[in-house]
Structure 1
Amino acid sequence: MNYFALTSLYRSLTRHKFYAVLNIGGLAVGIAVFFVLALYVRFETSYEKWLPDHHKIYVVQSVWNTPGSPQDGAYNSTMGSLFEQLKEDFPDIVGTRIRSGPGSVLRDGVATSESLAQVDPSFFEVFDLPMIRGDGKRALRAPTAVVISESTAHKYFGGTDPIGQTMTIVRGTPASFRVTGVFRDLPKNSDFDYSILILLPNITSDESWFHWGNRSLETYLRFDDPAAARAFAGKLKPFVDRRGVADLGENPSARFRLALLPLDRVHLEPEGQASSSKKMQVVTLGLVGFLAFLIAIVNYINLATARAGLRSREVAMRKVLGAHRSTLIRQFMGESMLTVAIAALVGLILSELSLPLINAAGGLSLSIPYTIAVPVLLALIVIGGTIAGFYPAIMLSRFSAAAVLASARTPGGGRTGTRIRETLVVFQFSLAIAFIIATSVLVAQIRHVRQSDLGFKRDGLLIIRSFRNEQIDDARGRALLASIRRIPGVTGVAIADSAAGGSGSDSSINVPLPGVPGKGPSLRKITTGAGFFDVYGARLLAGRVFDDAHGGDDMTNRAKSDGQNIVINRRAVGTLRFRSPEDAIGKTVGGDEPRTIIGVIDDMRFFSPRLPNDATYYLFRRDLSSGAVATVRFSGDPRSIVAAAQQIWRRTAPQVPFAGETADRRLDLFYEADDRAARLFGIGAGLAVLIGVVGLWGLASFNTQRRIKEIGIRKVLGASSPDIVKLLVGQFMRPVLIANLIAWPLAFLAMRTWLAGFEDRIALSPLYFIGATLFAIGIAVLTVIGQALRASRAAPSWALRHD
């Protein structure tokens, strides 16, 4: 562009400041939304890519093909001895195991909880963690070696050299370890959260360690290239059939198989029966950012084509003076590029200013990497400028100089230009209405899962997971429970191997049915202690719950073959083929391990709303006091109850870190990801709708000004102000109404797919669609009516003299 062209652009922007602000402001907001959501997508898709050679690492998945079973699906964990068996059959493979879990460091008799992982000596051959001190590949050769993170080293050793220092680490029983290496703190874009690495013990006594289908830890393998990984994956089916037949029966690969999942896909891939909600969230938010940018571009095109007539005489004069059409196209394309460049700079500033708010709303820690941001902005300027400027440049450059100079009025693109602008308005409002529908459904579903009936009262519950620690034996567990019961405000304490918020074990078992061949349906099994149903306030549908009056309820000193009294939930009634809760009472199921149903309770949802609420049966062990989870029912201030329980714990078992949270907090962990996605979606969608509204307002303002003389003539011929308003508003409502025909199917398909990820979900009511349509119409009317009223009130004499 030459100096003349730059001067022309400057005069065009300064003569029509209002439209310049709308154009640049709309583009800037669209770019800011795109940029911020692109940062989120980049962060979520970068997990584990910080690891050197991450593309060579695969996690071994346990894949169950057992429809109707709670364990059906793929899991990123395997039995403990799988790697050892793989090494026996395939000696050349390179891999390691990771068993993560709670651990603690004992110092001065007080335990501090730390994230600890037990690994094989070959860990650093697979995961080449950046080391600060020591050699990773040699650091875990000794049984008492420990490798710690940089922050852990500073926490326990301050500024002194940690190499050679000793630490007392508790994972089961306390043991002394010597620090042999320090690795750099793991980044936030990692699902690995360990800060201490020790060697995995040689386990031979635990039968579950060798039982096919158990999931004790994670197994990782490293291959030189994808072809080698695919070749090895082809050997896994015969390996399962050869090794798993003893535990899984004939043809084990029909029900169970092993698969390899690339490490950089683990974060976005689902486990178990859950849908790929994380991946869908990332794709959806990326799409929102792209569409917000696209709506801003459409705004630019709309306003540029509408304003084309204002520059028609400029174009005509330049043609008369010898300018070629190609020269004019280059000028207007250059102006578009410069306009988008200004908007991109403003958008970058808006992004930087909004990131703290976005991070707070989404619980994120996004920042702008300028080494990447600048090239992306340049690409946006080129792509956005080309898309936004192409049609206006072609339309402006094709004006006939003679026709324009001879005409008493400036051209506006004719009927074709009007139809194109209407099409663009339809496109904008189709997206806007779809966004409004989606946002309302998102908010309604999140509110539903937070407020839905879980089958128990979630307020006033404290979940204490510390009882699962191996150092809490039965005697100490009973002493702790007795002390907690005496806390003022505590009304009940119960213990079980599962609790609200997904705490505890997750086990299921097949229950054979009388007269029905096969192993029977799979039910979740929960072992409870005294008072469990009273503490949770379970609703009894039929029969009774466990009590002391019936000695047969307690399984503490009884063999499974002696028979068990069980309580089942409502969902198990149909699963076990009973007609009603009352019909199930007194019936026996279980084959060689008879289970007599003594009661039926309503379903209690302890797990994620995205997972099925499984058929469940409950056992009773009165002396259950260790290796489980305690649930405390209380009234009053939760903080004081937690503090009192923590004080008792530190006094009675100081070598075991206290882990206690309210049930509300535990359940919130299930909702956090969806809450974050809903907030980000709402912000992005709201700004996208705002961009569309601003563009519509600018277009309405401009078109109304172009029709001042027409309005004056209509008023002279007898049209009233309401007639003029009805005419102008009606013409703008037509594309908005047409937009619903596109928006409704799009929103329906998208929301039906998203809601399918929830087992407990709202109905996709027509009210969401009707409400969004009315809201969009209301916005459009309010946007246009101000311009229409002002035009309708103008005196005809002034309107006819208007130029």
Structure 2
Amino acid sequence: MNRFALLSLYRSLTRHKLYATLNVGGLAVGIAVFLVLGLYARFETSYEKWLPRHDRVYVAQTVWNLPESPFNGAYPYTMGGLLEQLREDFPGVVGTRIRGGRNGGTVIRGGVATSADIAQVDASFFDVFDLPMVRGSGSALRQPANVLISETLARRYFGTSDPIGQTLTIAVDKAVNYRVAGVFRDLPANSDFRISVLVPLPAAPPSEQWFHWGSSSLQTFLRFDTPQAARAFEQKLPPFVDRRGLADMGKDASRIQQIKLLPLTRMHLEPAGSESASAKITVVTLAIVGLLTLLVAIVNYVNLATARANVRAREVAMRKVLGADRLALVRQFLGEAVLTVGVAALLGLILAELSLPLVNAAGGLSLTIPYALVVPALMALTLVVGLLAGFYPALLLSRYPAASVLASARSPGGGRVGTRVREGLVVLQFGLAIAFMVGTAVLVAQTRHVRQSDLGFQREGLMMLLSTRDSLVGADRTRMIAAAIRELPSVRSAAIGNNAAGGSGEDNADNVPLPGVAGDGPSLRWIITGPDFFKVYGARVLAGRVFDAAHRDDDALARDMASGINIVINRQAVSTLGFRSPQEAIGKTVGGKRPRTIIGVVEDMRFFSPRQPNSATYYVYYSQPEKAFTAVVSIRYTGDPRVTMDALRTIWQRSVPQVPFEAATADTQLTKFYEADDRATRLFAIGAGLAVLIGCVGLWGLASYNTQMRIREIGIRKTLGASSADIARLLVGQFLRPVLLANLVAWPLAFVAMRTWLTGFDDHVALSPLFFIGGTAAATVIAVLTVLGQSLRASRAAPAWALRHE
């Protein structure tokens, strides 16, 4: 472009300031949304890529395939002894294990216990993970008395003094004094590893399940030099599982449980079944929202540029008379488009920077703009978007014949074809806008539904003491603490179990053989309960009775499994076990060689994520439930939860001061299941709202242009007797036609997208036609309000002025 072309662009923009504001502003908002949501998608897909040689590390997944099991799917956890068995069968395999992590243990210093992100790892940890060290070496983990800590932890406990050689008391399974032998850099936010302390795994297995196939106690990571080597090794794993799992899972164990290798960088979004599948869908959805918002902004630019083409028709004609050919004009207008997009991109970058604090607050994120990456990408985006957005307007403007334009009393407007193109662009804009509105309504309705749905127990007035899960507490102290809690004035009842609301304890399942049915039977989740467990949760009894201390046969601790135990099942288990009704199940015995007699049926109690399918469950009764491997105290209280929480803290600090106090209400525990979807809903709503705003800007600009082009027609109509209301209805009706046609684009798009998203929930709202009708109604109202001002102003023009108007 030469300086005359630049001067022409400057005059065009400054003479029509409103048009320039709408055009550049719409593009800037679209680019800002695209940048912010692109940063979010980039952050979510960058997990573990900060690690050197991350492309060589794989996580061993346990893949379950059990009939009707709540645990079917792939999980990034294995039994504790998997790596040892792999090394025995495949000498030379390079791997390590991580046990613990987030709140994985306790640091005791000065008599004060503090929860910390403690992980037990193999001495080979640094053969797989190259954590950047500040002081010391990763080889220090080969000494069982050494510990490595993060920079933050080093400053917290040692200030500015040298931490090397200092002593820390760390409790995982038991309290042990360790020598600080090194300091590693803090792990970044884009990591699933929450580790601030690394201690060696104990030489002796910490649990009986260490070598039991079917258990999951830690994460196992393997390193391979190439992807081909990893795939070749994975082919050897089914025979390995059949051979090693024979004793625990029988013949052809690999049909029940498989070991698969997943690249480390895919671990954040892919394993763990529906949970990470939903995270992946969320990331993809928000990335698509960013792209579609940018598309709406580009369409808005094209629409406004073509609608205003008549303003520059005489300029084009004069340039042709002075010798400019069509190619030169195309180059000029494409250059103008690129420059306009460049200005919009700069404003979009500013808007993105200003909006990031609000987006981070709304989404619970910590996004920042990496300018070294964003600026070159933005320059490339400017070129691509400028060429895409300016191509059609450039062709339209450059084709005007000079003679006819200069001879005409008025400039061309593109004719019927131009009108149809502009209406088609409005249809596309509002089609996406309506789809966004429908999607936002569905997301809001679903997130509200899962928060308010019946979980099968009374979540209000329910609190869990979680600190008793720590192995340092022990059964005797747990029983003593539970007794003290029951004496509190605000506590109505308290019970111990190995699980609680929010999935706060163990998660176990086993197969239940059915009488007269071949095979191992369906897999059911099982939960240990103690006295008053169902009373605390307010469970609804559908048939039979629940456990009672007066019935000695209920106590599984006093019974031999071979002679049988009593169980209570939930509603879901009734059909899973083949019964037609809860009443029919009462008194029946299932379980084959481990008989289980059903004494009661309760309503389903959903302790876990709403994205997990509601699973068939049976409950076992322990008269001393504190002897379970994991014990959680569930408490039914009245009054202010802070009063009860303070009383619990006092009891705890008096009883077990060396273990950090941890308690939460049921609402707090359940909220963690909703956080990701709430964040996605907020970000989606922000993107959708801005996309709708851009669409309104485009419609307003088009209405302004069309109204101006029809001034004389309006004057003639009023001269012939049309009232202002008639004119307003005519104009509004014509502007609404493309908005209503947009539903042909919006409804199928929204239906497919929302149906896919809702399938991630076991309990979800129906995809009601009201969502689609409501989105259309909202778009119609917005469109009417957008063009009504232009229509009323045009309808009130005096006929004499309108007929003289040029």
Among 678, 682, 695, the residue aligned to 1:679: 682
Aligned residue for 2:526, secondary structure, equals: strand
Amino acid at match of 1:645: L
Equivalent residue for 2:608?
Answer: 607
Aligned residue for 1:261, secondary structure, equals: strand
Among 748, 755, 758, the residue aligned to 2:758: 755
Alignment pair present for 1:652 and 2:655:
yes
Equivalent residue for 1:770?
Answer: 773
Aligned residue for 2:409, secondary structure, equals: coil
Alpha-carbon distance in 2 for matches of 1:495, 1:30: 54
Structure 1 residues 140 and 275, CA gap change in structure 2 (3 angstroms) = closer
Equivalent residue for 1:575?
Answer: 576
How big is each residue's C-alpha offset from its partner over 1:467-493, in whole Å with a ceiling of 9 and x where there is no partner? 121122222112111222222311111
How big is each residue's C-alpha offset from its partner over 1:74-119, in whole Å with a ceiling of 9 and x where there is no partner? 1111111110111111111111011115200112322111111111
Amino acid at match of 1:107: R
Equivalent residue for 1:79?
Answer: 79
Equivalent residue for 1:97?
Answer: 97
Equivalent residue for 1:729?
Answer: 732
Alpha-carbon distance in 1 for matches of 2:317, 2:275: 63
CA-CA distance at 1:6 after TM superposition:
1.4
Aligned residue for 1:408, secondary structure, equals: coil
Alpha-carbon distance in 1 for matches of 2:557, 2:393: 82
Alpha-carbon distance in 2 for matches of 1:415, 1:217: 68
Equivalent residue for 1:122?
Answer: 124
How big is each residue's C-alpha offset from its partner over 1:200-251, in whole Å with a ceiling of 9 and x where there is no partner? 1123584411111211111000011111111111111121122222222111
Among 111, 114, 136, the residue aligned to 1:112: 114
Alpha-carbon distance in 1 for matches of 2:374, 2:449: 39
CA-CA distance at 1:714 after TM superposition:
1.8
Matched-pair contact (CA < 8 Å) for 1:501–1:666: yes
1:582-731 to 2 correspondences below 5 Å = 582-626=583-627, 627-731=630-734
Amino acid at match of 1:802: H
Matched-pair contact (CA < 8 Å) for 1:490–1:633: yes
Name the stretch that deviates more: 754-763 or 559-568: 559-568
How big is each residue's C-alpha offset from its partner over 1:407-447, in whole Å with a ceiling of 9 and x where there is no partner? 11110011111111111111111101110111000000000
Alpha-carbon distance in 2 for matches of 1:396, 1:236: 66
Equivalent residue for 2:13?
Answer: 13
Amino acid at match of 2:753: A
Alpha-carbon distance in 2 for matches of 1:664, 1:33: 33
Equivalent residue for 1:553?
Answer: 554
1:64-213 to 2 correspondences below 5 Å = 64-101=64-101, 102-136=104-138, 138-204=139-205, 206-213=207-214
CA-CA distance at 1:381 after TM superposition:
1.1
Matched-pair contact (CA < 8 Å) for 2:76–2:271: no
Alpha-carbon distance in 2 for matches of 1:269, 1:674: 17
Matched-pair contact (CA < 8 Å) for 1:203–1:209: no
1:497-516 to 2 correspondences below 5 Å = 497-516=498-517
Amino acid at match of 1:797: A
TM-score normalised by L of structure 2: 0.98
How big is each residue's C-alpha offset from its partner over 1:776-796, in whole Å with a ceiling of 9 and x where there is no partner? 111111111221111111111
Amino acid at match of 1:630: V
Alpha-carbon distance in 2 for matches of 1:389, 1:67: 58
Structure 1, unmatched stretches of 5+, are none
Alpha-carbon distance in 2 for matches of 1:80, 1:205: 9
How big is each residue's C-alpha offset from its partner over 1:336-377, in whole Å with a ceiling of 9 and x where there is no partner? 111111111111111111111000000001111111121121
CA-CA distance at 1:726 after TM superposition:
2.3
1:42-441 to 2 correspondences below 5 Å = 42-101=42-101, 102-136=104-138, 138-204=139-205, 206-274=207-275, 276-441=277-442
Matched-pair contact (CA < 8 Å) for 1:316–1:404: yes
Equivalent residue for 1:28?
Answer: 28
Among 780, 786, 789, the residue aligned to 1:786: 789
Amino acid at match of 2:30: G
Aligned residue for 1:625, secondary structure, equals: helix
Aligned residue for 1:503, secondary structure, equals: coil
Alpha-carbon distance in 1 for matches of 2:449, 2:141: 49
Alpha-carbon distance in 1 for matches of 2:681, 2:36: 15
Alpha-carbon distance in 2 for matches of 1:556, 1:657: 30
CA RMSD of aligned residues (A): 1.2
Matched-pair contact (CA < 8 Å) for 1:543–1:600: yes
Aligned residue for 1:606, secondary structure, equals: coil
CA-CA distance at 1:393 after TM superposition:
1.0
Name the stretch that deviates more: 376-385 or 675-684: 376-385
Alpha-carbon distance in 2 for matches of 1:69, 1:408: 78
Alpha-carbon distance in 2 for matches of 1:703, 1:325: 27
CA-CA distance at 1:274 after TM superposition:
4.4
Alpha-carbon distance in 1 for matches of 2:253, 2:361: 49
CA-CA distance at 1:765 after TM superposition:
0.5
Structure 2, unmatched stretches of 5+, are none
Structure 1 residues 559 and 67, CA gap change in structure 2 (3 angstroms) = closer
Aligned residue for 1:603, secondary structure, equals: coil
Amino acid at match of 1:187: P
Matched-pair contact (CA < 8 Å) for 2:546–2:568: yes
Alpha-carbon distance in 1 for matches of 2:346, 2:118: 46
Alpha-carbon distance in 2 for matches of 1:158, 1:647: 30
Aligned residue for 1:118, secondary structure, equals: strand
Alpha-carbon distance in 1 for matches of 2:8, 2:205: 83
Matched-pair contact (CA < 8 Å) for 2:274–2:760: no
Alpha-carbon distance in 1 for matches of 2:208, 2:100: 20
Matched-pair contact (CA < 8 Å) for 2:556–2:620: yes
Aligned residue for 2:764, secondary structure, equals: coil
CA-CA distance at 1:10 after TM superposition:
1.2
Amino acid at match of 2:358: L
Alpha-carbon distance in 2 for matches of 1:536, 1:373: 52
How big is each residue's C-alpha offset from its partner over 1:457-515, in whole Å with a ceiling of 9 and x where there is no partner? 11111111211211222221121112222223111111100000011000011111122
Matched-pair contact (CA < 8 Å) for 2:67–2:521: no
Aligned residue for 1:148, secondary structure, equals: strand
Number of corresponding residues: 802
Aligned residue for 2:298, secondary structure, equals: helix
Aligned residue for 2:270, secondary structure, equals: coil
Matched-pair contact (CA < 8 Å) for 1:270–1:277: no
Amino acid at match of 2:752: L
Name the stretch that deviates more: 378-387 or 602-611: 378-387
Matched-pair contact (CA < 8 Å) for 1:544–1:600: yes
Aligned residue for 1:208, secondary structure, equals: coil
CA-CA distance at 1:556 after TM superposition:
2.4
Alpha-carbon distance in 2 for matches of 1:676, 1:580: 40
CA-CA distance at 1:273 after TM superposition:
4.9
Aligned residue for 2:612, secondary structure, equals: coil
How big is each residue's C-alpha offset from its partner over 1:134-190, in whole Å with a ceiling of 9 and x where there is no partner? 012x12111111111111111111111111111111111111111111100010000
Aligned residue for 2:558, secondary structure, equals: coil
Alpha-carbon distance in 2 for matches of 1:530, 1:314: 89
1:482-493 to 2 correspondences below 5 Å = 482-493=483-494
Name the stretch that deviates more: 622-631 or 540-549: 622-631
Matched-pair contact (CA < 8 Å) for 2:59–2:220: yes
Aligned residue for 1:728, secondary structure, equals: helix
Alpha-carbon distance in 1 for matches of 2:56, 2:205: 31
Aligned residue for 1:561, secondary structure, equals: coil
CA-CA distance at 1:619 after TM superposition:
0.9
Amino acid at match of 2:679: R
CA-CA distance at 1:721 after TM superposition:
2.2
Alpha-carbon distance in 2 for matches of 1:625, 1:270: 32
Amino acid at match of 2:538: G
Matched-pair contact (CA < 8 Å) for 1:139–1:181: yes
Alpha-carbon distance in 2 for matches of 1:270, 1:420: 46
How big is each residue's C-alpha offset from its partner over 1:387-424, in whole Å with a ceiling of 9 and x where there is no partner? 11111111111111100001111100111111111111
Equivalent residue for 2:805?
Answer: 802
Equivalent residue for 1:447?
Answer: 448
